[in-house]
C-alpha cells in the first residue's frame, strides 16, 4: 500500500469513527443538561473529547487538538465537582462541539482545520476559571445546508509535513500490545503507545498528505457495519443453494436421458421448490445486511431541538423511542432532511413558549417524541408534540390569503384535507419571515421526498393538545413490491405502495367535468388517467379496470386493460437510455422484460392546471 493510500485510509477511519463518537457526545450533553450531577455521563463525555483529541494529534490537526484539550479540561473540572454546570456553560460546550464538527468537515476536504475563533476559546477559558458567563445567542445546528445556500469557506492553512509516518504507524500497529482498545483506528495507536500527541501535537504527528494539485472529492459513505452472524447466514444459504443446484443438474440429466417417470418428476418439483425457498431466504438475508438501526439517524436531533428551543426561548425535551428499529441504510440517508424539517417545525410552529404554556396550565417544558417501530413490511415513524395543534379553518384561511386556493375550493375541504394544506409549496402559518421559518419552504419537500421513498405521510392534530406526523416507509428499496398491469398485451410495473385499490371501470360512472375525465369513488371526484395516454400511445379500446393510486402530488384513477399480478422485483437501470416515465426494468416470471414506471414523471406536465393539482395534493 502506498504512502498516500495509507494516509487516506487512516483519515477515513478517523472521520467515520470520530463522527459517530461526536454525535454520541452531543446526545449525552443534552442528557447531561437534565441530569448535571450524573457522574457516568460526565466521565463518558470527558473520554469522548479525550479520544477525539488523540486521533487529531496523529493527524497533526493542532487546531482540533487545542479545542478538544480545552473542552476536556473543562469536563475534568466538572466531573471532579470543582465547577458547576449551568445553561451558559452548556451553551459554550455545545458551541465547541459544533466547531469540532466543522473541523471534521475541513479534514474531509483534505484540509487542515483553521483554529477556533478567539471569542470561542476565550469563553471556554472563562468557564474553566469559573467566571460567570453572559448568555450567548444560540444558533441552531445545521445538519444540512439548503440547496441554494452559498457557503463561504475560509482558506485553510497549508498542511504541515511530519516525519515518515507510514513507517511509524506500521511499527505501532505491528506490535502486539495488550492494553485498552479504543474504537478509532488512528486513536488505537495513540491510546496503546503513549500520549505524546495530546501533550505535544507536533510529536509523532501524521500529516494529511494532500499534495499540491490533488483534487478534493468528498465521497458518500460506502461502508456499512454488519453483524458477522448475518454474514454467516448468507454463506450458509449460498452453500445450500449450491447443493440444490447440483441436485437439479442431476435431475436434468436424468430427464434429458428419457427418465421421465413419476418419481423423477416429483424429485424435480421438490428440488425446484427447495431452490425457490432458499433463494427467498438468501434475498432476505442479503437485505438484512443493508439494515441499520434508525437510532443512527435519530441521534442527530436532540442537539438540534435543544439549540433551536434555546434560540426561541422555549423548553423542549426530545424523547427518542424505538432507536433499535432497523431500516434500509439508503432510506435512512434520504430520510435525514425530511426529519430535520419536521423536528424544526414542531419546535418552531407546534410548541408554545414557556409563558404561553404556563397560562394554558401546561408544563413549561414541552415533550417532543420521535419514535419508530416495525409494522409488517413497513416502518412507522412518528413525530408527536404536545403543543398548540392546528385548526382546519385557520389553515384554509391562510391558503386563501396566500393565493394558493380560492375561497370556494378552500371551503370544500374537510378537516383531513385541510391539514394536508401545510404540504403545499409556499404555504406557511407564520406572518413574519424569520431565520427559522416563514418562507413556506420545506413541508412540500418533506412530502415529495417521503413519497420518493415509496412512503406516505399523514397528519393528526387536536387544537390545544398537539400534532402528530405519521410516516410509513418500506423496509427496503432493494426489492420493490409492484403491481404488474397491462396495456394490451404489454406489461408494465407500478409501485405497489402507490396502489390503494382496484375496481372495474363502469362507463356509466365516468364523466367529463370541465373537459377532464373523472369518476366518483366514495363521494370523492377523482381524475381518470389512461395508461395509454400517459405513455403517449393511442388507445385501441376502452380500458376495463381502474387502479386508485396516490402519488406525491395527486390522487387519481389509472385506467388499464388488465393485470398480471403482484410481484417483488429488483429494478435494474436501463443502459445508455432514459425514456420519460421509466424508472428501470425488471424480469417477469416468464423471462420477459417489464418496464417499471415512474408515475411522478409521467404525471408531470406543463399543461396541468395549478388549481387542480393543489386540490388533489390537499386531498
Which is higher by pLDDT, 202 or 16? 16
pLDDT for residue 201: 37
Average pLDDT over residues 91-102: 92
Picking from 303, 299, 304, 343, the residue whose alpha carbon sits closest to that of residue 324 is 299
Structural domain contains residue 613: no
Structural domain contains residue 421: no
Mean pLDDT score across all residues of the chain: 77
Residue 269 has pLDDT above 70, yes or no: yes
Query: How does DSSP classify residue 576?
Result: T
Query: How does DSSP classify residue 477?
Result: S
CB 318 within 8 A of CB 302: yes
Say whether both 375 and 515 belong to one domain.
no
Structural domain contains residue 344: yes
Residue 321's domain comprises 293-390+429-474
pLDDT for residue 217: 40
CB 372 within 8 A of CB 381: yes
Q: Coil, helix or strand for 291?
A: strand
CB 187 within 8 A of CB 51: yes
| Residue 262: HSE in the Cβ half-sphere, 13 Å Cα cutoff | 0
Q: Classify residue 371 as exposed, middle or buried by CB count within 10 Å of its CB (0-12, 13-18, 19+).
A: middle
Say whether both 109 and 192 belong to one domain.
yes
Can you tell me the distance from the alpha carbon of 35 to that of 574, in angstroms, rounded to the nearest whole number?
55
CB 485 within 8 A of CB 560: yes
The domain boundary residue, chosen from 289, 322, 339: 289
Is the pTM above the cut of 0.85? no
DSSP E strands: which ranges in 524-599?
A: 524-530, 545-550, 555-560, 562-569, 582-587, 593-597
Show the cell assigned to 216: 478534493
Say whether both 329 and 462 belong to one domain.
yes
The domain boundary residue, chosen from 452, 474, 496: 474
Cα separations (Å) of 94 from 168, 298, 306, 527? 35, 18, 10, 52
Residue 29 has pLDDT above 50, yes or no: yes
Residue 547 has pLDDT above 80, yes or no: yes
Sequence-distant (6+) residues with CB within 8 A of 428 are 398, 402, 437, 438, 439, 440
Say whether both 458 and 550 belong to one domain.
no
Structural domain contains residue 221: no
pLDDT for residue 580: 76
Q: Tell me the pLDDT tens digit for each residue of 103-151.
A: 999 998 888 899 999 988 999 999 998 888 776 654 444 444 333 333 2
pLDDT for residue 553: 57
Average pLDDT over residues 309-331: 90
The CATH number given to whatever domain includes residue 305 is 3.30.565.10
Structural domain contains residue 125: yes
Structural domain contains residue 416: no
Q: Which residue is listed with cell 438468501?
A: 282
The total of structural domains in the chain comes to 4
Q: Which residues are registered as beta bridge partners of 548?
A: 501, 557
Which is higher by pLDDT, 154 or 312? 312
Say whether both 439 and 529 belong to one domain.
no
Show the cell assigned to 168: 511509524
Range with the poorest average pLDDT among 7-11, 99-103, 338-342, 574-578: 574-578
Residue 38 has pLDDT above 50, yes or no: yes
Say whether both 579 and 442 belong to one domain.
no
Q: Tell me the pLDDT tens digit for each residue of 161-192.
A: 333 323 322 332 333 222 322 223 333 333 33
Percentage of residues in the chain with pLDDT exceeding 90? 21
Average pLDDT over residues 441-469: 85
The CATH number given to whatever domain includes residue 551 is 2.40.50.180
Residue 275 has pLDDT above 80, yes or no: yes
pLDDT for residue 430: 63
Query: How does DSSP classify residue 507?
Result: G
Structural domain contains residue 206: no
Can you tell me the distance from the alpha carbon of 48 to that of 68, in angstroms, rounded to the nearest whole number?
9
Query: How does DSSP classify residue 117?
Result: P
Say whether both 490 and 469 belong to one domain.
no
Q: Coil, helix or strand for 171?
A: helix
Q: How confident is the model at residue 218 (pLDDT cuts 50, 70, 90)?
A: very low
C-alpha torsion sign, points 383, 473, 502, 448: positive
The CATH number given to whatever domain includes residue 177 is 1.20.120.160
Say whether both 347 and 367 belong to one domain.
yes
Say whether both 367 and 434 belong to one domain.
yes
- Ramachandran angles phi, psi of 262, nearest 5°: -60, -40
DSSP E strands: which ranges in 423-515?
A: 456-462, 466-474, 480-487, 490-495, 499-504, 510-513
Can you tell me the distance from the alpha carbon of 528 to that of 556, in angstroms, rounded to the nearest whole number?
6
Picking from 453, 294, 306, the residue whose alpha carbon sits closest to that of residue 382 is 294
Say whether both 158 and 43 belong to one domain.
yes
Structural domain contains residue 508: yes
Q: Which residues are registered as beta bridge partners of 281?
A: none
Say whether both 317 and 455 belong to one domain.
yes
Q: Where are the alpha helices (DSSP H) in 429-568?
A: 443-452, 531-534
CB 185 within 8 A of CB 10: yes
CB 384 within 8 A of CB 468: yes
Which is higher by pLDDT, 43 or 378? 43
Q: How confident is the model at residue 234 (pLDDT cuts 50, 70, 90)?
A: confident
The domain boundary residue, chosen from 255, 272, 289: 289
Say whether both 237 and 270 belong to one domain.
yes
Average pLDDT over residues 19-39: 88
Amino acid at each position: 500500500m502506498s504512502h498516500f493510500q495509507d494516509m487516506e485510509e487512516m483519515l477515513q477511519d478517523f472521520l467515520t469513527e470520530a463522527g459517530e463518537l461526536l454525535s454520541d457526545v452531543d446526545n449525552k450533553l443534552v442528557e447531561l443538561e437534565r441530569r448535571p450531577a450524573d457522574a457516568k455521563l460526565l466521565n463518558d463525555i470527558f473520554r469522548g473529547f479525550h479520544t477525539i483529541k488523540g486521533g487529531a494529534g496523529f493527524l497533526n490537526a493542532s487546531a482540533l487538538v487545542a479545542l478538544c484539550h480545552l473542552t476536556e479540561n473543562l469536563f475534568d473540572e466538572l466531573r471532579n465537582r470543582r465547577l458547576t454546570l449551568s445553561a451558559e456553560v452548556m451553551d459554550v460546550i455545545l458551541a465547541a462541539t459544533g466547531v469540532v464538527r466543522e473541523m471534521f468537515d475541513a479534514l474531509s476536504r483534505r484540509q487542515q482545520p483553521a483554529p477556533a475563533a478567539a471569542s470561542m476559546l476565550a469563553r471556554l477559558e472563562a468557564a474553566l476559571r469559573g467566571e460567570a458567563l453572559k448568555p450567548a445567542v444560540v444558533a441552531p445546528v445545521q445538519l444540512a445546508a439548503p440547496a441554494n445556500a452559498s457557503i463561504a469557506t475560509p482558506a485553510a492553512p497549508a498542511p504541515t509535513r511530519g516525519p515518515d509516518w507510514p513507517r511509524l504507524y506500521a511499527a505501532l500497529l505491528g506490535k502486539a500490545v495488550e492494553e485498552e482498545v479504543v474504537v478509532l483506528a488512528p486513536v488505537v495507536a495513540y491510546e496503546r503507545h503513549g500520549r505524546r500527541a495530546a501533550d505535544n501535537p507536533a510529536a509523532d504527528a501524521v500529516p494529511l498528505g494532500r499534495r499540491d494539485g490533488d483534487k478534493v472529492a468528498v465521497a458518500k459513505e460506502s461502508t456499512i457495519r454488519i453483524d458477522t452472524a448475518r454474514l454467516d447466514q448468507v454463506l450458509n444459504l449460498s452453500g445450500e443453494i449450491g447443493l440444490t443446484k447440483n441436485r437439479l443438474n442431476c435431475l436434468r440429466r436424468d430427464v434429458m436421458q428419457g427418465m421421465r417417470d413419476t418419481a423423477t418428476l416429483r424429485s424435480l418439483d421438490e428440488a425446484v421448490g427447495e431452490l425457490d425457498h432458499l433463494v427467498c431466504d438468501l434475498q432476505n438475508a442479503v437485505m438484512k445486511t443493508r439494515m441499520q438501526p434508525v437510532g443512527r439517524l435519530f441521534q442527530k436531533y436532540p442537539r438540534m431541538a435543544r439549540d433551536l428551543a434555546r434560540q426561541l426561548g422555549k423548553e423542549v425535551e426530545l424523547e427518542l423511542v424505538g432507536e433499535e428499529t432497523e431500516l434500509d441504510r439508503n432510506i435512512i440517508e434520504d430520510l435525514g432532511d425530511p426529519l430535520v424539517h419536521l423536528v424544526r417545525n414542531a419546535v418552531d410552529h407546534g410548541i408554545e413558549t414557556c409563558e404561553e404554556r404556563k397560562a394554558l396550565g401546561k408544563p413549561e417544558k414541552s415533550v417532543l417524541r420521535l419514535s419508530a417501530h416495525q409494522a409488517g413490511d413497513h416502518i412507522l415513524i412518528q413525530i408527536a408534540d404536545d403543543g398548540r395543534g392546528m385548526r382546519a379553518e385557520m389553515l384554509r384561511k391562510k391558503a386563501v390569503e396566500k393565493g394558493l386556493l380560492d375561497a370556494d375550493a378552500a371551503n370544500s375541504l374537510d378537516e383531513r384535507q385541510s391539514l394536508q394544506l401545510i404540504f403545499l409549496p409556499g404555504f406557511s402559518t407564520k406572518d413574519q419571515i424569520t431565520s427559522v421559518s416563514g418562507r413556506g419552504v420545506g413541508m412540500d419537500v418533506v412530502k415529495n421526498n417521503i413519497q420518493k421513498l415509496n412512503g406516505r405521510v399523514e397528519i393528526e392534530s387536536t387544537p390545544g393538545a398537539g400534532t402528530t406526523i405519521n410516516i410509513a416507509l418500506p423496509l427496503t428499496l432493494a426489492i420493490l413490491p409492484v403491481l404488474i398491469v397491462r396495456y394490451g398485451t404489454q406489461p408494465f410495473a407500478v409501485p405497489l405502495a402507490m396502489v390503494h385499490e382496484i375496481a372495474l371501470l363502469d362507463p356509466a360512472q365516468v364523466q367529463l367535468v370541465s373537459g377532464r375525465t373523472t369518476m366518483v369513488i366514495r363521494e370523492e371526484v377523482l381524475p381518470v388517467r389512461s395508461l395509454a395516454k400517459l405513455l403517449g400511445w393511442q388507445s385501441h379500446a376502452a380500458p376495463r379496470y381502474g387502479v386508485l393510486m396516490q402519488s406525491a402530488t395527486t390522487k387519481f384513477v389509472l385506467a388499464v386493460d388488465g393485470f398480471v399480478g403482484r410481484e417483488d422485483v429488483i429494478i435494474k437501470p436501463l443502459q445508455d437510455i432514459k425514456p420519460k416515465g421509466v424508472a428501470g426494468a425488471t424480469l417477469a416470471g416468464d423471462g420477459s422484460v417489464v418496464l417499471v414506471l415512474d408515475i411522478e414523471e409521467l404525471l408531470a406536465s406543463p399543461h396541468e392546471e395549478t388549481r387542480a393539482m393543489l386540490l388533489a395534493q390537499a386531498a
